[in-house]
Amino acid sequence: MDIENTTVCVVGLGYIGLPTASLLGTRGFKVVGVDVSSDVVETINAGNIHIVEPDLDVLVKSAVGSGNLSASLEPVAADIFIIAVPTPLSGEQQPDLSFIRAAVAAISPYVVAGNLVVLESTSPVGTTDEIVAAMLAAAGHSVGRDVHIAYCPERVLPGRILIELVQNDRVVGGINDSSTAAALDFYQAFVNGDVYGTSAKTAEMVKLIENSYRDVNIAFANEISMIAEQEAINAWEVIELANRHPRVNILSPGPGVGGHCIAVDPWFLVSRNPPLARLISTARQVNDEKPRWVIEQVKARAERFKRPTIACLGLAFKADVDDLRESPAEDIASTLLDEDIGEIVVCEPYLTSHPRFELCSLEDAVNQADIVVLLVDHKAFRHLSAASLNHKVLIDTRGIVK
């Protein structure tokens, strides 16, 4: 592929779209990133970022400074279009694909023969064929012959996105063989990991079962943690010792499951195949109910105080990021506030403000607290010990306080 003469339009400049656009820009592609937010567009065009991700600020500044990356409110003509928009859940755990439909409609006037359109948004099986290809075909494009269409899910971990975009293996699936070949040619130009070609539906299902596998395993760990608590046993010690078995690898429990992937993707399989996805559905219910179990643990300990001060440590969905999407920690803190369990103080070192909470330092949160609820295993919290908490009531949902 002639990178320097290949143009790319990335629709959606969030946690996947912006790192992808900036990476491509530093590799020599001419990239225009598209977002519906004028604030996001202005921020990026100034060489700055609106999300927290290690080294992303340097990459964006470099890509913008070189002239290879710019941001816009509207799509532009390009050789390759990447759709990286949100796919949230709507009511009753059904996938909301309206952002994908809007993105396809927005790029359609700019698509011409020879283009490659890639959907990267996590989607139910069939979305690439039934929405992206179908909409472009209905708009008069010669889909699968002159216009190639493929699906390529991201496989990155927040906090390591820039590393994993390049190093991780990728799966690309086209709506036909020529589309798969075109997508392989593109991703092999900047991915150091292996890139595997398949069909669009297979690639879509690969992404969903990767995160469903993890969700089922976390649900198992979360059930263990609740049973262990009932038996007055340390769940993390039990799991650590069980994992000494050569064929056992239990994940770590937590206050629930968050993020846009593991907490959402399994429902995409369930929604399309309800009678067949019974284990996946049950795991989702276990993990969705875990925050309520944590809240009940807090309420039980709060009974010994007239009106306790409860310090919630962490709001993000995982350690060392600012991402609140589907965060069980934020859900727990908000519910404790709504149910007026006591005075709620919050420390979240990766945020400067929050619409519901006045954030404070770790020291202030712990000093004020009668009950400390550790919800996120941020590095900033890992030095805490039972002794340093001065025998305050501790509910450690991450098992890091020794």
Residues marked as catalytic? 207, 261
Kindly state the DSSP code that residue 52 receives in the 8-state scheme. Answer: -
Q: Are 319 and 400 in contact (CB under 8 A)?
A: no
Q: Are 340 and 299 in contact (CB under 8 A)?
A: no
Residue 276, C-beta contacts closer than 8 angstroms, at least 6 positions apart: none
Say how far apart CA 106 and CA 9 lie, in whole Å: 11
Kindly state the DSSP code that residue 398 receives in the 8-state scheme. Answer: S
Query: Up-side HSE of residue 118: CA atoms within 13 Å toward CB?
Result: 28
CA distances from 345 to 235, 310, 337 (A): 27, 6, 9
Helix (H) or strand (E) holding 161: helix 161-167
> Per-residue b/e over 151-182, b at no fewer than 16 CB within 10 Å?
bbbbbbebbebbebbeebebbbbbbbeebbeb
Q: Could you tell me the sign of the dihedral formed by the alpha carbons of 217, 221, 226, 231, in that order?
A: positive
Residues for the chain: how many in total? Answer: 402
In one letter, which amino acid is 257? V
Neighbours of 305 (CB within 10 A): 14
Structure tokens at 26: 């530093």
Say how far apart CA 97 and CA 268 lie, in whole Å: 11
